[in-house]
Each structure stands twice: as C-alpha cells, then as structure tokens.
Amino acid sequence: MYQIAIMGFGTVGTGVAKVIETNQESICRRLGEPLRVKSILVRHFKDGPYRSLMTDDFQTIESDKEISVVVETIGGVDAAYTYTKRALMAGKHVVTANKQLVAEHGNELLALAKEHHVNYLFEASVGGGIPVLPPLTQRLAANRIDEIYGILNGTTNYILTKMVQEGMPFSDALAQAQALGYAEADPTADVEGHDAGRKICILADLAFGRRFDPAVVPMEGISKIDLRDIKIAEDNGWHVKLLGRCLRLGEFERTAYVAPHLIREDNPVSHVNDVFNAVVVRGNATGEVMFYGKGAGELPTASACVSDVLECLLERPARPEIDWSEDTDGFVDPKEIPGRFYFRISGSIAEAEKLFGEVLVLKDGEESALIAGPMTESTAKQAASKLSVLAQMRVLD
C-alpha cells in the first residue's frame, strides 16, 4: 500500500481525499496497490470523516517513513514554502497546486527535489484538471515551442462571459462571481491578472527553459474593460478575452505578459466561456495544439494532484525534463514586440489614419473604433497620445 499526506485541507485538499476515495479502483489498477491518505496537516481541527487523520504538527508527517508523497494545498508562500523544502529534504515527493510558490521558487524547489532524488510536480498549478504540463514537457519534446497563450483564469473568464452575453457591467459581474464562490472576497489576484501571470510564468519556464520572474512580467487585468468595447468587438466578429501569453523571440530572448485581447471568432479560444480555461501551445512541427477544460474547482484540480501522485509513485526516475535555468536574462519587455492594437477614439477614422496609415475600421463616427498595426506598444502609445483615446487593447493575430 502507498501512503501519502495532504497539507492544508481547503477545497483542493478535500478534493484530493475525495478523488482517492472515489476512484480507488482505477488508481489501484494503475499503481498495482491501493493508495491511502495517512495524515492531513491542518491549522485547526475540523470534525468530519477525515478527523482521525488530522494533525497540526508537520513533524509527524516529516518523520513518517511510510509517507512517500506529500500533497501541498496550503497555498501562498510562507508555510507552504517551508514545509515543501522540509518534505523534499526528508526524501518525500511533493505535489502541489500552488502556482505562486512554483512561479516564485520553482527553480530552487526543483533543484532541491533533484538533490534528494524525488519529484516536485505541479500539474495542478496551471489549468486545474487540464493535463497541459506533461504534454508540454514530454509529448511535444520533438518540437521547438515558439508560443503559448491562453485563458488561464476561470474567474475573469466567467466575468467577461457575463459582460458579453448579458451586457452586465464589470462590477455587477464580479459581484455575481463572488456570490457564486468563483471569486474571492479580495478579487485582486484574479481580476488584475496576477493569477494568470503566475501561470504563464510557469508555462514559459517549462517551454523555454529559463526563468520568467513574475515581478517583471507585465500583468494587466480586466477591471478597466468597458462594455462598449466588448460590443464593438462582438459586432465585428471579435471576442474579448484575458490572455496570458509568452513568445520565443530568439535563442534566449523571450517575452511574456498578461493582457486583455481581441481574438477573431474563428479562433477556438474565443469560444471558451464561463469558468473554462484553454491553453494553446504552438510548436514548429505540430502547429497550434489546444488544451481545454475546467481550470479550477475541487475535483478537477484534485484530479491533477492525484495524477501527479501516481506519477511520483510509479518508480520512474525523477523527471529530468521538468527543469529550467535560474537565468532571467533575455527577457524582452513585451512593449517592444510588434502587434496590432485596437483603439476607440473620440474622433473620426480619418484622424486615426493620419497617424496610423490604413486601419481596419470597426466603427466610424464621432466616436470611432479601429485596429491598427503591426507596431510596438511604445509606438502605439506615442501615436495615440496625439489622439483622444478612450480605450486601447491588444489584438491576437
């Protein structure tokens, strides 16, 4: 029998216990032996079916030789960071859904895992239940990955879907997302793009093999999106989505950012709605491949954690391809990467064309909307400073 511990027993932690219980049969078929949760680390004991497994003392887990894998679902950095290090040093595999910890300290924790011949796996940190990291690191290994982009945050996608489908203003849609439990009481990390930003950093780290520091990756959220721009976009065959995106620019040069984008309706990503996530990986041989599913939630995220637990237990060598260099050099500010931009201006298309040359017209009148470029964001901002710009957004080409 294999035995594991769960640290933290919120939504994801509870889900992990449930998935192991419910799907014991298929898990056992895969492992050849049953899998059991032996200990659950909590701060405060809670009654319920798992009460007898709870402990508030990390040391009982750390020193328990029977526990071979620890699932960290504490979240954040502090305690999660400390316990993860100690678990790895005690020779236990660690599996996590904690994107903040991976984005900020992934390097160090992976190195520590290698040193102790165990795995540090974090499939659940990106895309919840969608299996995207192993395809990226293993199955697309015959490709040079040139770009990854996607809808990486379910809360903001839910809000945008409400804004589009029901013409609901941002603040009302946010309130509804909070009422449904999709958004936190403090929604900053979601709506300002930080959550998506951590995820694009992890994807980019793995795809390009060098560290993306979340502190220097520009992240813009959806709180400033106006319903008028959504309407103009929709009327012209475009959808507005919050994307995380990273691009290979040269051998070492690369960029990443999070920002709202206009996406053509013939791109399947534009039809990803509600709390669903989608990640598009562009390889030089395979072209664009998309992974789609529920990016959050108790069971999908837990399913990814348990799948990582199985991976750890199947006695393969620690996976060497999950790795990236600590080197952050070569990061190019996305402002300097040419792309097309959407503008809504107070004024006519003729005025815009004086500055931008020929543009794609979405609306002409006293208030006009257009797509201009390709040009860098710096150039766009400079040109736009001579216009009365009411809204500006990136366009995904």
Q: Which of 99, 162, 199, 294 is catalytic?
A: 199
Residue 71 binds to its own copies (criterion: CB under 8 A): no
Select from 90, 233, 302, 362 the one that contacts its own copies (CB under 8 A): 302
- Distance of CA 127 to CAs 161, 174, 230, Å? 18, 21, 25
For the bound state, the minimum distance from the C-beta of residue 332 to its own copies, rounded and expressed in Å, comes to 21
For the bound state, the minimum distance from the C-beta of residue 32 to its own copies, rounded and expressed in Å, comes to 8
For the bound state, the minimum distance from the C-beta of residue 257 to its own copies, rounded and expressed in Å, comes to 24
Residues 306-325 as x/- pattern, contact with its own copies by CB under 8 A: xx-xxx----xx---x----
Site for its own copies in 3-22 (CB under 8 A): 15, 19-20, 22
- List beta partners, residue 279: 150, 291
Select from 106, 283, 334, 339 the one that contacts its own copies (CB under 8 A): 283
- Of 5 and 140, which CB lies nearer to its own copies in the complex structure? 140
Strands (E) in 152-286, as ranges, are 238-248, 254-264, 276-283
Select from 285, 350, 365, 385 the one that contacts its own copies (CB under 8 A): 285
Task: Characterise 127 by phi-psi region: left (phi > 0), alpha (psi -120 to 50), beta (else).
Answer: left
- Of 160 and 384, which CB lies nearer to its own copies in the complex structure? 160
- Of 288 and 336, which CB lies nearer to its own copies in the complex structure? 288
Select from 6, 7, 12, 27 the one that contacts its own copies (CB under 8 A): 27
Residue 186 binds to its own copies (criterion: CB under 8 A): no
Residue found under tokens 């020929």: 358
Taken in order 215, 279, 152, 237, is the CA torsion positive or negative? positive
Q: Which residue from 262, 397, 395, 265 is spatially nearest to 341, judged by alpha carbons? A: 395
Site for its own copies in 195-224 (CB under 8 A): 209
Residues 121-140 as x/- pattern, contact with its own copies by CB under 8 A: --x-----xxx--xx--xxx
Q: Which residue from 348, 297, 376, 345 is spatially nearest to 15, judged by alpha carbons? A: 297
Among 94-102, 182-190, 299-307, 370-378, the segment contacting its own copies (CB under 8 A): 299-307
State the virtual CA torsion across 326, 330, 331, 336 in degrees, nearest 10.
180
Q: Where would I find the H helices in 167-291? A: 170-179, 188-191, 194-208, 227-235
> 138: number of CA atoms within 13 Å, CB side?
8
The number of angstroms, rounded, from the C-alpha of 265 to the middle of its chain's C-alpha atoms is: 22
- Of 129 and 244, which CB lies nearer to its own copies in the complex structure? 129
- Let me know how long the chain is: 397
Cβ atoms of 38 and 67 within 8 Å: the answer is: yes
Q: Which residue from 291, 129, 149, 292 is spatially nearest to 207, judged by alpha carbons? A: 149
Q: Which residue from 230, 175, 173 is spatially nearest to 363, judged by alpha carbons? A: 230
User: Catalytic site residue 199?
Assistant: yes
Select from 43, 46, 117, 144 the one that contacts its own copies (CB under 8 A): 144
Residues 225-264 as x/- pattern, contact with its own copies by CB under 8 A: ----------------------------------------
Cβ atoms of 201 and 219 within 8 Å: the answer is: no
- Of 197 and 283, which CB lies nearer to its own copies in the complex structure? 283
H or E stretch including 167?
Answer: none
For the bound state, the minimum distance from the C-beta of residue 151 to its own copies, rounded and expressed in Å, comes to 11
Reduced to 3 states (helix: H, G, I; strand: E, B; else coil), residue 77 is coil
Among 23-31, 58-66, 83-91, 190-198, the segment contacting its own copies (CB under 8 A): 23-31
Residue 116 binds to its own copies (criterion: CB under 8 A): no
Catalytic residues: 199
Residues interacting with its own copies, by CB under 8 A?
A: 15, 19-20, 22-23, 25-27, 29-30, 123, 129-131, 134-135, 138-144, 209, 266, 268, 271-273, 276, 278, 283-294, 297, 299-300, 302-304, 306-307, 309-311, 316-317, 321
